[in-house]
């Protein structure tokens, strides 16, 4: 087994990138609902790029923070694919937020899509690593990582929707009184 080490300054940068990307994505999510037509599409695309590239950058910086006593390289095309995946799934998830109400089924399907997309990004990024020996995954930990990504996506999308509504309290489909 190889013993690696983390560079604490790069780990901190990774966390700061994640916080900044989350803040930006939540801010943009509010604009998606407020806009119509091409504006809504532009805000959704911008949010997808901000959130997806932020997720990817946080992950990639975290990978760069980990040093192993072997030579590492990255496949360019798989690395670029790992960037594209979270942008696409974040765009699909943000598209759901444009609706005035969010049904549990919409939240669940968006969370599953986003969670699987984040995992696809992670494992595609790991597959892009060129090293000997290669990486071996434990199937149970792999399944757990998928479940955590879906649960985290559920929480993030629920928060984004609730903040966008400006609502207080829990619950999903709760029509706001018209004045």
Residues 46-87 pLDDT 10s: 888 988 899 899 999 988 898 888 888 899 999 999 999 999
CB 52 within 8 A of CB 90: yes
CB burial of 111-139 (b: ≥16 within 10 Å; e: otherwise) equals: bbbbbbbbbbbbbbbeebbeeeeeeeeee
User: What is the per-residue pLDDT for 165?
Assistant: 61
**pTM, entire model:** 0.77
**How much is the pLDDT for 169?**
42
Provide the β-strand partners of residue 129.
74
Contact between residue 15 and residue 79 where contact means Cβ atoms under 8 Å apart: no
Low-confidence spans in the chain with pLDDT less than 70:
1, 30, 33, 97, 100, 163-179
Dihedral, 159, 165, 169, 172 alpha carbons, nearest 10: -70
């Amino acid at each position: 087994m190889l013993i690696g080490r983390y560079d604490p300054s790069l780990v901190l940068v990774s966390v700061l990138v994640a916080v900044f990307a989350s803040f930006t994505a939540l801010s943009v999510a509010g604009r998606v609902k407020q806009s119509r037509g091409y504006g809504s599409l532009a805000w959704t695309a911008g949010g997808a790029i901000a959130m997806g590239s932020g997720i990817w950058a946080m992950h990639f910086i975290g990978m760069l923070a980990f040093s192993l006593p072997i030579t590492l390289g990255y496949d360019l095309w798989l690395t670029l694919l790992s960037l594209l995946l979270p942008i696409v799934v974040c765009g699909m998830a943000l598209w759901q937020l444009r609706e005035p109400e969010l049904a549990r089924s919409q939240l669940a399907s968006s969370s599953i899509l986003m969670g699987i997309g984040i995992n696809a990004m992670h494992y595609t990024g790991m597959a892009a690593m060129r090293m000997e020996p290669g990486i071996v995954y434990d199937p149970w930990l792999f399944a757990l990582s998928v479940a955590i990504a879906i649960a985290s996506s559920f929480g993030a999308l629920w928060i984004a929707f609730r903040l966008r509504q400006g609502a207080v309290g829990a619950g999903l489909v709760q029509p706001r009184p018209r004045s």
